[in-house]
Amino acid sequence: MVRKLTLSICLLIGCVWCFALVSRVDSAPPGEAGDSFKPVASVHGLMNGQGLVFKNINMALSNKRMPERHERVEAFAEVLAELANVNTLNSEESDYRKWAGQLRSTSMELAREAEKEDGADEQKMQQLFEQLKSTCQACHDVYQDKHEGHDEDDD
């Protein structure tokens, strides 16, 4: 009986907290949530982060015995997609933005495939990973030196 009462009170408090949180979001003062998004990391820093996430995807795909392997691929692919999403704002060049958009789309496709866990198509996941590598390389072939030089000038 005490457990049920405690659980009911916790649920009630949780509901009140969620309601308060939702009502605060709707009433956020102008200028906070409405500001346009601006990347805060340097392109070099963002690329290093993407590289680390990319390596983690590769490790998970390469090790079929890894615990929670599909969950890791899914999570890292979603993070890579979000980093690519931010990366679309780092250049006005249409090809750069196109490659960042392709990286985002392919990463999300990989995440959705990994989400299937036991039903995931291993060959498709590997093909999507290869597509990610090709997209990154195509962009790096054109922009890597430009951005590295740009970051050094900023320091």
Residue 61 placed within a domain: yes
Q: Which of 83, 89, 100, 94 is closest to 45 using CA atoms?
A: 83
The CATH number of the domain holding residue 120 is 1.20.120.10
Stated pTM of the model: 0.71
pLDDT digits (tens, 9 = 90+) for 33-87: 556 788 888 889 999 999 999 999 999 999 999 999 999 999 999 999 999 999 9
Residue 82 placed within a domain: yes
Question: How many domains is the chain partitioned into structurally?
Answer: 1
Residue 54 placed within a domain: yes
Residue 79 placed within a domain: yes
Query: Residue 28 above 50 pLDDT?
Result: no
Q: What is the mean pLDDT of residues 92-121?
A: 95
Domain of residue 77 covers 43-154
